[in-house]
Each structure stands twice: as structure tokens, then as C-alpha cells.
A and B are shown apart, each in its own frame.
Chain A
Amino acid sequence: MGRVENKVALVTGGAGGIGSAIVKLLVQKGATVVIADTDHNKGHALAAEVGKQALYLPLDVTEENQWLRTLETVLLKFGQLNVLVNNAGFLEPSELDETSVALWQKTLAVNATSVFLGCKYGVESMKKTGGAIVNMASTAVPRPGTTFLAYSAAKAAVVSLTKTVALDCAHNNYGIRCNVVLPGAVDTDMLRNNKEPDQSDEDFIGSVIARYPMGRIGQPEDIAEAVLFLVSDDSAFMTGAELRVDGGSTI
């Protein structure tokens, strides 16, 4: 927890399960939040639900010129950007023999190239005022398994990027911190879409939590709290750090 009063934040994938929890918590703690997503219906609905501290802007995070346009709009409208949460992601499980080149490239684009673009242009926008960046990786990084080949690789790139960006900002004295959250299984549509058609919800969740010492999957709010901590002054001496939020599944 921590306060983000008067901060302007941009959350990519802001309309999704984890993204919307992040948006709501940041707003609750005083920030003005730009919800960036490609799901216009959900994005507008969330902005309407949250109220005047939130705004929806469409953003395909894989497109460089859309990043430039969106950040320009944010700076024009709000005068500054203090917080960037690179949360947008894409998951289609596949093993080695099933992974097509197209799937590999799409997974890397939405999960990793997006974070590169966000950091590159986010830092440009934030370096005069300072700020905080949080990237979303996954416990698929330390525990790739066989089922998420492209996803694990892309999220590993996010962890590496986070550290390079943190170092770059430190060496250049931009006053920008950059850290990464590694969620385990979180109760969202993205997770539940992995259920087999003939499997019950209970069995599916049961199969997931078998690896979790805490005996339950995470909630979007657990991830949102970690993001809030990392973008607030409570983590002022943290940069280039990894924070796992995973019920002990990667111990």
C-alpha cells in the first residue's frame, strides 16, 4: 500500500482481470489513471464505473506509433506521466511441437515488445519528472514447464528488460525506478480460459493449486497491491527488483 495522490498513471491491458484491479486500486489511492487496452467496450465501461479519475484510451501495445500517440495525448491532457504499468499480456498455451512461428511471434510481440516500447517511450515521457515503472512478468519465468513455451520466454525477456531499464535510469539519474511483478496463477478469464471443455471449474482450479503451498490461487487484488507498493514511495529504494506474488509456488 502507499499513496499515489496526484500521480498520473497509465495501465496497459487496463480493462482485463488484473489490469482493472490495478486501475481501481490506483484510483482509490489518489491517482488519475489512463486505461489503455484494445477491448474498447470493457475499457469504456471500466472508465465509466471508476468515474472522473479514469480515462480510456485505445492502445495496441505492439504498435510503436500508437505508443507515441497515446503518450502524447496523456502529456497534453494531464501535463505529466508518473506511473507506467506494463500489464498487457497474451497467453495461448502450447508445447514445443505445437508452437507455430506465428504464435511465437505474437506472444513475444504482446508480452515483450510491448514492454520494450512502453519503457522506451515511457522513460522519455517521465525523465523530467521522475516516476515508477512496473512490468508484469510471471512465475512462468523461474518455472517455465513445457506448456507455456512462448509465454515463458517472452516473460523472461520482460524480467531482463526491467533490470536493464532500471540500471539505465539509475545511471542517467532520471529518478525513474523500474521493477517487475511475477504473479502465479491469478483468478482471471485468462487463467480460466485454459480449462479443458469437459473439466469442471472445481477440478480445473484444483489441478492448478496442487502446486501452491498456500492452497489457493491468487486474486487480481493481490497483484494490484504489489503494483501499488512498487509505484509508491514505500518502495523508494527498490529498483531492478523482482517481486513474486504466488502463494509460495516457486519456493
Chain B
Amino acid sequence: MCSLDNKVVIITGATSGIGRGCAEAFATAGATVVATGRREVQGNKTVDLIEKNGGSANFLRHDVTNQQDWTNVVSQTLEMHGKIDVLVNNAGDSVIKPLEQLDGATMKFLIEVNLDGPFLGIKAVWSCMKEAGGGVILNTNSVAGQKGTAVGSAYNASKGAQGALTKVAAIEGAPFNIRVNSIHPGFILTEGMKETLQKNPNTLQSMIRSMVPTGETGRPAHIGHAMVYLASDAARYITGVECNVDGGISAA
């Protein structure tokens, strides 16, 4: 992996799944990780796992839809670590339901978490990254943000919107050396995915089999490694891109 020695990275939704995988990858690469999320027990477990592996991390309680929480996370990170080099807007949620069963409240909820959350995050770190001469923002998107699928309209819509936000942020950030990219995971086997598989076994299993050319789900570490590369100096010329980590779904 690339080196992120001495970098300070905030990762939202780092209490489990992809967020935890990314937090671990960033810590292994040498970064100081500020793991955030709503669940303190899970968040502290992420920190434990990182510290047991010789890495450096702390947990901050954080609801990404809450403006004040963002202000607190940024100011506490600056107080503890002096800077913010990378923000990973990873926190997100999904609801898999056909249009007929989907209600307005669910749409509103998903837009809030998956779009408003990253929007508030970008705004929260923007001025300190500008002052510092640059930074990197990585948004966890999804293949669902790029292509239509049979179910998940509200989720897909929220991720598609997040993708558009990423692109504008990349253009506006470029003169200040703030790079903004989105990562598009395919099916990643997390605790959340396992739960969804149990609740909707036929739907999800058949989706995986029919959509993923390699026939396999990915691991959170796969996303983590891609994020580490994109956050590093090795990717200094990469901004505004969609990086698919999906076992070939987007090619099929």
C-alpha cells in the first residue's frame, strides 16, 4: 500500500463494514485515524482493532446529518491533531424496496444521510484544507449510483446525487489542491450485507450471481486499499473520478 505517514484522516461511518475496513487500511498505511459514527461501542472496537495492530486512532460520536456534529468533529480533530489531510465521507444507509413500496419518508431519509451528510462534510473541512494548501476528500458511493437496478430507487437516487456533488467539489477544489473522488463499491460482504442477505435472500443472492462477473462479493479491505491509493501522493493528479471496486459489475 501507499504510505500515508503523518496524515490525519477522518472517516465517517467507521463503526463497522466498509468504514471500519477503510479505517484499518488507513491506519496500516501510517495515518492517524479519526473514526466517527453514531455507535460508541462499535466505534471503540474499531479503535481497539487499529491499536492492537500498532496503529493510531480515536473515536468521535458523529451523526453526519447534524451540522453541529460536523463542527465538533472538525474542531476536535484540529485540536487533537492540528490538521485534516483526508476526509472519507463513508457513512451511508440503504433501503432495498421496489418503487411501489417506497414512501417519501424513506426517500427523504436516504437523501439526508447519503447526500446531505457528505455535503455538510465537504463544507466542514473546506476552509481548513484550503488554508493548509490542499487535502483529499473521498466519498463512498456505489455501483447503484451509476446504473439502474431493479430495486433501490431511493438509494440509487441518493448515490447518483452524491456523485454529481463529488464532481462539482472536484472542479471547485482543484485550484486549491483539494482533490475529490468517489469510490463505487459493488457487493461488499459486511455485517450489514449479511443482514440484508438474510432478510432478502432470494433478491440479493440472485442479484449477486447475475451481476458480478467474478461471482464473488468483495471485502471492506478492498475498498480500503483503493481509498489509501486515492488519498496518497501517488494519486496527486487524480480528481473528479469514479473508481469502481466491484468485481467487474460496471463492465458487464
Known contacts A170-B214, A215-B174; A248/B239 CB under 8 A: yes
CA distance A240 to B252 in the complex (A): 8
> Which residue in B238, B241, B245 is a CB contact (below 8 Å) of A237?
B245
CA distance A241 to B252 in the complex (A): 11
> Which residue in A166, A215, A226, A236 is a CB contact (below 8 Å) of B175?
A215
Interface residues in B159-208 by Cβ distance below 8 A to A read 167, 170-171, 174-175, 177, 186
Flag if A170 contacts B171 (CB, 8 Å): no
Flag if B248 contacts A226 (CB, 8 Å): no
Known contacts A167-B252, A170-B214, A243-B243; A236/B229 CB under 8 A: no
Flag if A239 contacts B251 (CB, 8 Å): yes
Flag if B237 contacts A219 (CB, 8 Å): yes
**Nearest neighbor of B188 in chain A, beta-carbon distance:** A237
Complex interface: chain A residues within 8 A of B186 (CB): 237
Flag if B2 contacts A1 (CB, 8 Å): yes
Known contacts A170-B247, A240-B250; A247/B174 CB under 8 A: yes
Min CB gap B45→A, angstroms: 24
In this complex, the interface size class of chain B, counting residues with CB under 8 Å from chain A, is 35 or more
**Nearest neighbor of A218 in chain B, beta-carbon distance:** B237
Q: Is the CB of A191 closer than 8 A to any CB of chain B? A: no
Interface centre among A170, A171, A214, A237 (most CB of B within 10 A): A237
User: 0/1 per residue, B231-249, Cβ < 8 Å to A?
Assistant: 0101111111101111110
**Nearest neighbor of A3 in chain B, beta-carbon distance:** B1
> Which residue in A218, A235, A247 is a CB contact (below 8 Å) of B225?
A235
Flag if A241 contacts B250 (CB, 8 Å): yes
Flag if B229 contacts A234 (CB, 8 Å): yes
**Nearest neighbor of A164 in chain B, beta-carbon distance:** B251
Flag if A1 contacts B1 (CB, 8 Å): yes
Flag if B1 contacts A167 (CB, 8 Å): no
Q: Is the CB of A102 closer than 8 A to any CB of chain B? A: no
Q: Is the CB of B226 closer than 8 A to any CB of chain A? A: yes
Flag if B213 contacts A170 (CB, 8 Å): yes
Q: Is the CB of A246 closer than 8 A to any CB of chain B? A: yes
Flag if B226 contacts A214 (CB, 8 Å): no
Interface residues in A208-243 by Cβ distance below 8 A to B read 213-215, 218-219, 222, 225-226, 228-229, 233-243
Q: Is the CB of B144 closer than 8 A to any CB of chain A? A: no
Known contacts A170-B213, A239-B248, A241-B251; A248/B226 CB under 8 A: no
> Which residue in A170, A171, A244 is a CB contact (below 8 Å) of B241?
A244
Min CB gap A18→B, angstroms: 13
CA distance A233 to B241 in the complex (A): 21
CA distance A236 to B224 in the complex (A): 11
Interface centre among A171, A236, A247, A251 (most CB of B within 10 A): A251
> Which residue in B171, B244, B246, B248 is a CB contact (below 8 Å) of A251?
B171
Flag if A170 contacts B248 (CB, 8 Å): yes
Known contacts A245-B237, A245-B238; A240/B248 CB under 8 A: yes
> Which residue in B170, B219, B226, B244 is a CB contact (below 8 Å) of A213?
B170
Known contacts A166-B213, A171-B213; A236/B238 CB under 8 A: no
Flag if B229 contacts A238 (CB, 8 Å): no
Q: Is the CB of B152 closer than 8 A to any CB of chain A? A: no
Interface residues in A129-167 by Cβ distance below 8 A to B read 162-163, 166-167
**Nearest neighbor of A230 in chain B, beta-carbon distance:** B229
Interface residues in A92-136 by Cβ distance below 8 A to B read none
**Nearest neighbor of A247 in chain B, beta-carbon distance:** B237
Complex interface: chain A residues within 8 A of B213 (CB): 166-167, 170-171, 239-240
CA distance A239 to B243 in the complex (A): 11
Complex interface: chain A residues within 8 A of B2 (CB): 1-2
Flag if A241 contacts B1 (CB, 8 Å): no
**Nearest neighbor of A212 in chain B, beta-carbon distance:** B174
Flag if B226 contacts A234 (CB, 8 Å): yes
CA distance A184 to B240 in the complex (A): 13
Q: Is the CB of B38 closer than 8 A to any CB of chain A? A: no
Complex interface: chain A residues within 8 A of B240 (CB): 213, 244, 248, 250-251
Q: Is the CB of B228 closer than 8 A to any CB of chain A? A: yes
CA distance A229 to B2 in the complex (A): 9
Further 4 A-B residue pairs, CB within 8 A, beyond A167-B248, A214-B237, A248-B170: A2-B225, A219-B237, A240-B250, A241-B245
